[in-house]
Amino acid sequence: MTYTNFLFIIVFIVLMGCSAQQGRYQHHHDSSPTRKPSAVELQDAIPRVEKKSRGGNRNYTVRGIQYEVLDNATNFKQQGEASWYGKKFHGHLTSNGEIYNMYGMSAAHKNLPLPTYVRVTNLANNKSVIVRVNDRGPFHKDRVIDLSYSAAYKLDMLKTGTAQVTVEAISNINQEATVVNKEKAHYIQVFATKNATQANKTATKISSLFNYPTKAKQESGYYKVHIGPIKEKTVITMLLEQLKTQGYPSAFTVKY
């Protein structure tokens, strides 16, 4: 074996070793994204009744510390330090098996059942946001919640990195919402088009923005983009208002 070949083999082994140690994340350190959240991305999460996720709701251990997951979030209120997480975790799985979107209104909590909707208020400026907890963390002493980039932006805490907050679970969704007639399912028709590709792309976009089932339904030669089914009138009203800001002022409700 020549000296050159020997060096080539050594370099190859070193590079392979470095590659194997990079871990699951593309970025070694967390950082801010290159753009600010849009107006739509700054909309609060819309609380709705959801079943517990199949993943992420068992008691667990991290770094030798045991954490107990609550059975429910009724009357839950907490005060402490909030942090946020961004590019390093964007596109990776959350604890309940969803994909983390740093532009979504989501959060991580050590003990709340997944998912749980909470109102987070920045005690320094009284700004608040409603987020959907779908992940575990933060695993740092004295921190109570880890917020998405958009949520942290809305609370005006990006410069400081952390903030003292209150976390209040929204656990009375059924009592606050006015349930619509159960005989027929209610949907919101966003728009209709004869272009199947456009309809499917719009359905994917709307579903990502509002975290509600959205699909393009073919009917009478048109592809109609529907959100739903939706049971609560209050949610329908909120979605219609948010769709206006997204450029769909003609959206309306339909029954099936």
Residues 166 and 77 in one domain: yes
Residue with tokens 């004869």: 194
Residue 240 domain boundaries: 186-255
- Structural domain contains residue 34: no
pLDDT in tens, 36-90: 988 778 888 989 889 999 999 999 999 999 999 999 999 999 999 999 998 777 7
Peptide bond into 37 cis (omega under 30): no
Whether residue 131 sits in one domain with residue 249:
no
181-234 tens-digit pLDDT: 444 678 999 999 999 999 999 999 998 888 788 999 999 899 999 998 887 787
Q: Within a domain: residue 136?
A: yes
Angle at 113 between CA 128 and CA 28, to 5 degrees: 75
> What CATH number should be reported for the domain holding residue 142?
2.40.40.10
| Cα 57 off chain centre by | 17
Q: Does residue 33 form part of some domain?
A: no
In a domain, 203, yes or no: yes
Residue 223 lies in a domain: yes
**Token digits of residue 137:** 């963390």
Domain count of the fold of the chain: 2
Helix or strand holding residue 117 (H, E): strand 116-122
In a domain, 8, yes or no: no
Pair (95, 208) in one structural domain: no
Judge if 106 and 191 occupy the same domain: no
